[in-house]
Structure 1
Amino acid sequence: MTTTPDVTRRRAAAGLLAADAVLHVFWLTGATWPFPDRRALSFAVLGFQAPFTPPVLTGLAVLLLAAAAALWHGQRHITTVVAIAAAAQVPLRVAWAAGFGSHTAGALFWWLNLLLYLPLCTFLAIAARTRRWHWLVPVAVAAAIAATAYFYQPGTDRYPTAEGGSHFVDTRVARFHYLREGEGPPLVLLPGGTASTFAWRPQLQALSAGHTVYVVDLPGQGYTEVHDRHFAYDLPSMEAAISAFLDAEHLTRVDLAGHSWSGGWALSFAQSHPGRVARLVLLASSGLDLPDTPSWELLKLPVIGELATDFAFDHAGVRAAVAELFVHKNLATPAVIEAMWRPLTNRENLRSVYALERGLDWRRTQRRMPATTQPALIVWGAQNTTLPAWQASRFAALMPHTQVHVLDGCGHAITLDCPDQVSALMRTFLS
């Protein structure tokens, strides 16, 4: 019996899928070759961090073997599914090869996508196709999704203006926006995650009597403009940004405070530069190697993360999200919501949300906690639904020099939800 070209291509595709299944069985043994660990393996293969656990790997291996068997024997319906799945990936992988989105996964994934994954998906789509229209629908749908994910811009205020009393300083990394008040030892306050300098306003006023207080937007926040086109939004990059600001302001040694994500950035900087940080204040801080809430974990997925960010951080989405951060709902005022939303109409700030979620590796901070030398004040809200309050005791168990306070009646936005209590604890600790 003569083998037709279509059958030859289909069986070649079946061989590729079977080889991929064997590779997943190999990783099932605990090996991560050719990568050093599971995180690196996940980023290289998928472009984001996924649980390469035995149940996941077993399921993928079985699925790949079943698809290979169906292609080999020419089972029409499964072959069609394989063709559609492969074809749908082509425009997305072309977008990543063009530089849209893949930079958050690292250079290795970009090269592997360009030289290996994109050609293989194209070949599988061609080899498994059974009708011409199978190309058109998935490609069109995937192209529309990619265009929405990487080009849609929510909001209308593309170039928001900074608040009154603002200062700016230029560095190689960014043009930093910051506030400064008071006289005395320098204290640097870093806003949390998607917030900006407004989030520390109560503490800026309360603490400036005894300190020169700086509140600074880091890259991806507020009104800071990133100069470095290849800024990575990972812990080493955020450390470099803090260092660049301190150098620009000629600050050799400071007290450093951070909230949520920025607490983790402050902790990481203190661990890497112990001589530059005298004391740490960590408010509802990141830094433990734990999964985030499901809605934030979703941002790690390519395309899905971009789409979720675009639609979750429009004005209505921000209004709903901010309310969840407060126990005292009356303090989640329209002015607070506006202050949170307006910087997120800047495309770079919006992109930083999913880029940071994918790039921040808290194994690095947790591993170094026992050797963290600075005295640290740990403050948490008991009603925190973003980072549960039990994490405060975990910080205390891992770090040698800590004071821990869990405040009842306070949520995640603790600097604004319980400003007087936070300011009083910081004033006592820093004095």
Structure 2
Amino acid sequence: MNPEIARSVDAAGLRTNYHDLGQGAPVLLIHGSGPGVSAWANWRLVMPELARRARVIAPDMVGFGYTERPPGFAYGMDAWVRQAVGLLDALDIERTDLVGNSFGGGLALALAIRHPARVRRLVLMGSVGVPFAITPGLDAVWGYTPSIANMRALLDIFAFDRGLVNDELAQLRYQASIRPGVQESFAAMFPAPRQRWVDALASREADIRRLPHETLVVHGREDRVIPLATSLTLADWIPRAQLHVYGRCGHWTQIEHAARFARLVGDFLAEAAADEPHPLAD
């Protein structure tokens, strides 16, 4: 009965929990890296709307949610890209639209660079992927240690609208963060000093500038986790990019402006036909 647990498939050797809704051209949603996060927690408000006109696939990346956590697993961009491509292969998806949130944006960017023919259109929301000095907010997110108070403080950082942050949500995310193995894998991914993990999630400028994909870059103006400047840089470097900035919005664009975000992304992905020719080959 847990809504976070959906289907399961072997993706590049990892038993991966994923949601699969709707019909039509596929769109892969990649979540962020907050403590206790899962695909469902990240995308629950927008998946049903996007699924009205597309096949929406939202996996738990290894180290997060209900995907298996192999002992001693080497977390990093190579492993996450391999898992994402393995999921597409397992589902017989040759080419997908790709939406990445924060950490997931950096992963989406890396996947598009390494496997450009597997991606049709790209959406990067509050994304990492370019160099920036780590913010106090992101350092607090990655440095989280489990407690209700710490989780409540993080939720206050994520949202501009404090009305979205209540004790029930803090309790739910706290409980998710203390499931067996969750904090151990989370702590193993981003140990201090954490600037190096910002750098590790970044792609090379030259590679970003060569991206051929139509790209939508989205950011909250009041984001205290990932600075707006990262999206300004991405919109500048990606040749076929457009930028949308939400005012009165923190790091939770897909939650704070869920309906608007779903319409914006849905319209952007619907602009081109699903059988649009590949921009290039691998």
Task: State the TM bucket, normalised to the shorter chain.
Answer: 0.7 to 0.9
- Is residue 6 of structure 2 the alignment partner of residue 170 of structure 1? no
In the TM superposition, what are the counterparts of 1:32-431 in structure 2 within 5 Å?
Answer: 162-163=2-3, 166-194=6-34, 195-197=37-39, 198-227=41-70, 229-294=71-136, 296-297=138-139, 308-309=143-144, 311=145, 313-357=146-190, 359=197, 361-431=200-270
TM-score, length basis structure 2: 0.84
Tell me the alpha carbon deviations over residues 302-338 of structure 1, each in whole angstroms, 9 at most, x when there is no partner: xxx8xx54x3x32321122112211222222445334
| Higher radius of gyration, 1 or 2 | 1
User: 1 or 2, which has the higher helix percentage?
Assistant: 1
RMSD: 2.3
Q: Which amino acid aligns with 1:170?
A: D
Deviation at 1:349, TM superposition (A): 3.0
Deviates more, 1:413-422 or 1:329-338: 329-338
Contact 1:166-1:178 within 8 A present in 2 as well: yes
Deviation at 1:352, TM superposition (A): 3.6
Contact 1:375-1:402 within 8 A present in 2 as well: yes
| Percentage identity across paired residues of the two chains | 27
Deviation at 1:341, TM superposition (A): 2.6
Tell me the alpha carbon deviations over residues 132-177 of structure 1, each in whole angstroms, 9 at most, x when there is no partner: xxxxxxxxxxxxxxxxxxxxxxxxxxxxx84267112234532211
Q: Give, in whole Å, the separation in 2 of the partners of 1:335 and 1:245.
A: 33
TM-score, length basis structure 1: 0.56
Q: Which amino acid aligns with 2:75?
A: Y
Residue 104 of structure 1: aligned partner: none
Q: Give, in whole Å, the separation in 2 of the partners of 1:164 and 1:382.
A: 29
Contact 1:223-1:343 within 8 A present in 2 as well: no
Q: Which amino acid aligns with 2:152?
A: R
Structure 1 gaps of 5+ residues are 1-160, 300-304
- Cα distance, 1:185–1:290 mapped onto 2, change above 3 Å: same
Q: Which amino acid aligns with 2:135?
A: T
Deviation at 1:184, TM superposition (A): 0.6
Q: Give, in whole Å, the separation in 2 of the partners of 1:290 and 1:325.
A: 18
- Cα distance, 1:366–1:322 mapped onto 2, change above 3 Å: farther
Contact 2:122-2:215 within 8 A present in 1 as well: yes
- Cα distance, 1:336–1:177 mapped onto 2, change above 3 Å: farther
Report 1 or 2 for greater relative contact order, CA contacts < 8 Å, sequence distance ≥ 6. 2
Q: How many residues align?
A: 261
Q: Give, in whole Å, the separation in 2 of the partners of 1:387 and 1:281.
A: 16
Q: Give, in whole Å, the separation in 1 of the partners of 2:133 and 2:229.
A: 14
Contact 1:231-1:237 within 8 A present in 2 as well: no
Contact 2:12-2:82 within 8 A present in 1 as well: no
Contact 1:410-1:417 within 8 A present in 2 as well: yes
- Cα distance, 1:216–1:289 mapped onto 2, change above 3 Å: same
Deviation at 1:367, TM superposition (A): 4.3
- Cα distance, 1:172–1:272 mapped onto 2, change above 3 Å: closer
User: 1 or 2, which has the higher strand percentage?
Assistant: 2
Deviation at 1:191, TM superposition (A): 1.1
